């Protein structure tokens, strides 16, 4: 129940005096909705009653089964409620409900998100008009029911340190197979996650939409990896690709005007500087193949200085030229069996 739905006519805070028992109880409950722990003197001032009246109310609530905890730290007395004390859920203020709605709207579209938005819309006063599961101005990535289900399992794997038994579609080979994974990091905006593959014990990238089904495994132990190692793996990758080989320091230059676009679309973490009207980019990566594909698309606007990367760029460019070269005259105009050329239709 949002706090903004509770509307009580109470005295202004700070006017210490006597209230009716009902008023005092309501004010105390509202105070604990705002924060879980109060110093007794501060709570009395906040509620607007004398200390003795407050203590009687707190004692009555405790005897009635209200989950109040009392702690003394001479000369002060503190009263607290447990984290999950609110009956049936968690309390949000009106401002927090608005924040909650906006955060949910920014999440990937899914059945679970839509159900939560509908729930907030039905409970919160004044928010029905802004709660839209779809069709609003904010468009986010859509999760299929399978992705939503598998995402929950992968998240539990990373949080609980439990292995996953997954049926996965490998795009490069075009086959489907079962494998054990230990999930470490999920990059939801990229639709990928990093996990240890139990087939060879290596960190690898996996696509979220490639997971056909997944379940936590009790018979296979989780294979943990240091967070710093996972960070390094992600940092050395290019657009979700890591060759597994040692990373190489690469440098390339991009001319204007393409440099303005490249700065905000680089597929990996880079150091960027400007030199003589050019963008100078340096990156340490084990994703040379993916980076080379990106650079080929820049054509004559890019100059690659690192030999290993330059060879890949040249090879890819030559393959593209060979595949897409203009056909010769004999290839473009096949002849009739009689020897005459095919004439265009009138």
Query: CB-based contacts of 107: which residues, under 8 Å, 6+ apart?
Result: 113, 140
Q: What angle do CA 38, 39, 42 make, to 5 degrees?
A: 95
Q: Which of the pair, 89 or 23, is modelled with greater confidence?
A: 23
* Cis before 127? omega within 30: no
Domain ranges for the chain:
3-80, 145-224, 248-323
Query: Mean pLDDT, to the nearest integer, of 233-251?
Result: 94
Q: Above 70 in pLDDT, residue 15? A: no
Residue pair 79/37 in contact (Cβ under 8 Å)? The answer is yes
Query: Mean pLDDT, to the nearest integer, of 18-27?
Result: 74
**Strand pairing category for 69-73 and 164-170:** unpaired
Query: Mean pLDDT, to the nearest integer, of 257-263?
Result: 89
Burial of 227 (C-beta count, 10 Å sphere; 0-12/13-18/19+): exposed
Q: Above 80 in pLDDT, residue 20? A: no
Query: Mean pLDDT, to the nearest integer, of 201-215?
Result: 95
Q: Give me the residue label for tokens 């994703």.
A: 287
Residue pair 234/185 in contact (Cβ under 8 Å)? The answer is yes
Query: Taking the complete model, does pTM exceed 0.85, yes or no?
Result: no
Domain 248-323 matching CATH 3.30.70: the answer reads yes
d(CA 309, CA 281): 13
Q: Above 60 in pLDDT, residue 104? A: yes
- According to CATH, what is the number of the domain 3-80? 1.10.10.10
Query: Mean pLDDT, to the nearest integer, of 126-132?
Result: 54
Structure tokens at 40: 């007794």
Q: Tell me how far CA of residue 240 lies from CA of 23, 154, 187, 225, 288, in angstroms.
A: 59, 17, 10, 19, 12
Q: Above 50 in pLDDT, residue 249? A: yes
For domain 145-224, the CATH class is: mainly beta
Query: CB-based contacts of 241: which residues, under 8 Å, 6+ apart?
Result: 205, 287, 289, 290
């Amino acid at each position: 129940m949002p706090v903004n739905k509770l509307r009580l006519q109470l005295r202004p805070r700070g006017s210490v005096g006597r209230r009716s028992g009902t008023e005092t109880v309501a004010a105390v409950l509202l105070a604990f909705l705002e924060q879980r722990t109060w110093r007794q003197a501060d709570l009395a001032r906040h509620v607007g009653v004398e200390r003795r009246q407050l203590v009687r109310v707190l004692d009555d609530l405790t005897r009635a089964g209200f989950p109040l905890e009392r702690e003394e730290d001479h000369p002060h007395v503190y009263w607290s409620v447990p984290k999950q004390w609110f009956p049936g859920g968690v309390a949000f203020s009106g401002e927090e409900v608005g924040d909650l709605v906006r955060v949910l709207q920014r999440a990937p579209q899914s059945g679970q998100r839509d159900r939560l938005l509908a729930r907030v819309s039905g409970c919160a006063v004044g928010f029905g008009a802004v709660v839209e599961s779809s069709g609003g101005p904010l468009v986010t990535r859509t999760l299929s029911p399978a992705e939503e289900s598998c995402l929950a399992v992968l998240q539990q794997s990373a949080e609980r340190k439990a292995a996953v038994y997954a049926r996965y579609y490998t795009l490069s080979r075009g086959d489907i197979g079962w494998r054990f994974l230990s999930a470490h990091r999920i990059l939801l905006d990229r639709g990928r996650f990093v996990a240890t593959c139990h087939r060879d014990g290596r960190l690898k990238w996996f696509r979220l939409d490639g997971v056909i089904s997944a379940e936590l495994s009790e018979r296979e132990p989780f294979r943990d990896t240091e967070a710093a190692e996972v960070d390094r793996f992600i940092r050395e990758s290019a657009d979700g690709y890591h060759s597994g080989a040692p990373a190489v320091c690469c440098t390339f230059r991009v001319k204007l005007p393409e440099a303005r676009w490249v700065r905000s679309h680089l597929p990996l973490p880079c150091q960027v500087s400007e030199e003589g009207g050019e963008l100078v980019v340096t990156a340490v990566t084990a994703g040379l193949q993916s980076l080379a594909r990106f650079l080929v698309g820049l054509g004559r606007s890019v100059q690659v200085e690192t030999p290993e990367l330059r060879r890949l760029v040249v090879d890819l460019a030559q393959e593209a030229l060979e595949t897409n070269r203009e056909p010769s005259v004999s290839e473009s105009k096949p002849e009739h069996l009689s020897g005459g050329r095919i004439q265009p239709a009138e």
